[in-house]
C-alpha cells in the first residue's frame, strides 16, 4: 500500500473517531453529564482529521505507466504546463487536482466479429476499392500517449482521445487507402503495400495529435456476398481448367511415351536387320575366301578332291552302287591291268 492510500485510510479513521466522539459528547451533554475534558479531545480529533485530510488531498502518487495533468485554480491558465511524472507529488489541497493519463500501449480493435472489438457487434470498416467493389476491413490500432504531450492531449481531447480521435481517424485513413487499389490488388499483390500506406498515414496523423502509433494490424478483409460468390466461381473454373490442362499434359506424356517405345522397337528391328545383314555379308565373304583357297589348292593338286571325298566316306562302306549313266567321281584303276580275265568253269587258263 502506498503513502497516499495510508493517508486516506488514516483520514477515514480520524473522521470516524472525531464524529463518534462528537456524538458521544452530545449524548453526555444532553443528559447533563460532565463533558468539559472530553470536549477538548473531540476538538483536537476534528482538527487532526481536517489536517490529515488536507495533507492527503495534496499528495498524489503516480505509477510508472501514468502521467498527471494538474488542474489548478491558482494559475491564470488553469493548469500546470508540465505534466507530473511517476512518483509522489504535492499539489495545493482543494485548489489543485490531478487527472491521470496512461502512457502504456493501448489497442483499439474494429472487427466484424461481435465480441472482438471495443464496440459490440459488427464494427468493421466498409470501404470501396478503385474498381467500385465493397469490402469490409478488420483492423487494430496499437498506440500510446506521447509522455511529453500529455497536457496537449488533455487540452485537445481530454479522455475522449480514443473514441473521438483514434477510431474515426483509423476508419478514414483505411477508406482512403483502399480506394487507391483494385479489389484483386487489395487481397493479393498490393495488400502489404496498402497496409504500409495506412501505417504511415496513421503515424503522421496521430503524431500531430500527441499520440504515438506502435503498430497497425490489418486483421482481415471480407468481401460482399455477391463478390465472394463470383470469386468462388472463378476459382472453381480455374481449378477445372487446371485439371483439364493436367489431363491434356498427361495424355501428351502417354502418347510421347508410346511413340518413344515404338521408335525404340523400330530402331531395335533396324539394328537387328543391319546386324543380320552384316553377319551374312561377313559369312559370305568368309565362304568366298574359303572357296578361293580351296580352288587354289585344287588347281595344283586335283587329286586332293578325290582324297577328301574318300575320307568323308563312312568306314563301313565297302560297295557303292552308282547309276550306269553317272560319271565316276574318281578314276578307277584299270581293271584289265589289275584283274585276271574271267575263265569259264572247268577251263584252264
Domains of the chain as residue ranges with CATH: 3-101 (no CATH), 106-223 (3.30.479.30)
Q: What is the mean pLDDT of the chain?
A: 79
pLDDT digits (tens, 9 = 90+) for 158-198: 999 999 999 999 999 999 999 999 988 888 888 999 999 99
pLDDT at residue 172, as a whole number: 94
pLDDT digits (tens, 9 = 90+) for 127-137: 999 988 888 99
Residue closest to 132 by CA, chosen among 194, 174, 191, 183 = 183
Q: CB neighbours (10 Å) of residue 209?
A: 17
> Is pLDDT larger for residue 194 or for residue 45?
194
> Is pLDDT larger for residue 267 or for residue 327?
267
Which of 22-31, 55-64, 71-80 holds the top average pLDDT? 71-80
pLDDT at residue 109, as a whole number: 93
pLDDT at residue 334, as a whole number: 47
- Give dist(CA 99, CA 280) in Å, integer: 115
> Is pLDDT larger for residue 28 or for residue 106?
106
- Give dist(CA 91, CA 72) in Å, integer: 9
Q: Residue 74 pLDDT more than 80?
A: yes
| Percentage of the chain modeled with pLDDT above 90 | 30
> Is pLDDT larger for residue 71 or for residue 58?
71
pLDDT at residue 37, as a whole number: 62
Backbone dihedral angles phi then psi of residue 215, each to the nearest 5 degrees: -165, 140
Q: CB neighbours (10 Å) of residue 10?
A: 16
- Give dist(CA 172, CA 198) in Å, integer: 10
Which of 96-100, 245-249, 275-279 holds the top average pLDDT? 96-100
Confidence of residue 110 (pLDDT cuts 50, 70, 90): very high
Residue 304, C-alpha cell as written in the block: 586332293
Confidence of residue 312 (pLDDT cuts 50, 70, 90): low
pLDDT average, residue stretch 28-42: 66
Q: Residue 311 pLDDT more than 90?
A: no
pLDDT average, residue stretch 83-92: 88
Identify the DSSP state of 71. E
- Give dist(CA 107, CA 97) in Å, integer: 28
Q: Residue 335 pLDDT more than 60?
A: no
Residue closest to 215 by CA, chosen among 107, 66, 101 = 107
Task: Provide the 3-class DSSP secondary structure of residue 344.
Answer: coil
pLDDT average, residue stretch 223-237: 69
Amino acid at each position: 500500500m502506498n503513502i497516499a492510500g495510508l493517508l486516506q485510510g488514516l483520514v477515514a479513521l480520524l473522521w470516524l473517531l472525531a464524529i463518534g466522539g462528537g456524538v458521544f459528547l452530545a449524548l453526555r451533554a444532553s443528559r447533563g453529564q460532565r463533558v468539559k475534558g472530553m470536549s477538548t479531545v473531540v476538538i483536537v480529533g476534528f482538527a487532526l482529521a481536517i489536517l490529515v485530510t488536507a495533507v492527503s488531498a495534496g499528495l498524489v502518487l503516480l505509477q510508472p505507466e501514468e502521467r498527471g495533468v494538474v488542474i489548478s485554480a491558482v494559475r491564470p491558465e488553469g493548469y500546470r504546463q508540465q505534466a507530473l511524472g511517476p512518483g509522489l507529488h504535492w499539489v495545493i489541497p482543494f485548489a489543485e487536482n490531478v487527472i491521470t493519463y496512461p502512457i502504456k500501449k493501448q489497442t483499439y480493435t474494429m472487427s466484424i466479429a461481435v465480441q472482438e472489438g471495443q464496440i459490440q457487434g459488427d464494427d468493421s470498416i466498409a470501404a470501396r476499392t478503385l474498381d467500385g467493389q465493397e469490402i469490409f476491413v478488420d483492423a487494430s490500432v496499437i498506440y500510446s500517449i506521447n509522455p511529453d504531450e500529455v497536457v496537449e492531449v488533455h487540452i485537445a481531447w481530454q479522455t475522449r482521445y480514443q473514441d473521438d480521435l483514434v477510431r474515426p481517424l483509423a476508419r478514414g485513413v483505411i477508406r482512403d487507402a483502399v480506394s487507391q487499389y483494385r479489389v484483386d490488388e487489395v487481397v493479393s499483390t498490393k495488400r502489404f503495400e496498402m497496409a504500409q500506406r495506412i501505417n504511415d498515414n496513421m503515424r503522421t496523423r496521430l503524431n500531430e495529435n500527441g499520440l504515438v502509433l506502435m503498430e497497425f494490424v490489418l486483421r482481415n478483409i471480407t468481401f460482399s456476398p455477391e463478390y465472394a460468390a463470383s470469386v468462388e466461381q472463378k476459382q472453381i473454373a480455374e481449378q477445372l481448367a487446371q485439371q483439364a490442362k493436367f489431363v491434356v499434359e498427361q495424355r501428351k506424356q502417354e502418347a510421347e511415351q508410346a511413340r518413344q517405345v515404338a521408335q525404340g522397337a523400330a530402331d531395335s528391328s533396324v539394328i537387328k536387320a543391319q546386324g543380320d545383314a552384316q553377319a551374312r555379308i561377313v559369312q559370305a565373304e568368309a565362304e568366298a575366301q574359303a572357296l578361293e583357297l580351296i580352288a587354289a589348292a585344287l588347281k595344283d593338286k586335283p587329286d586332293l578332291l578325290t582324297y577328301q571325298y574318300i575320307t568323308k566316306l563312312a568306314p563301313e562302306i565297302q560297295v557303292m552302287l552308282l547309276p550306269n549313266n553317272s560319271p565316276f567321281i574318281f578314276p578307277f584303276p584299270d581293271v584289265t591291268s589289275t584283274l585276271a580275265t574271267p575263265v569259264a568253269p572247268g577251263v584252264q587258263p
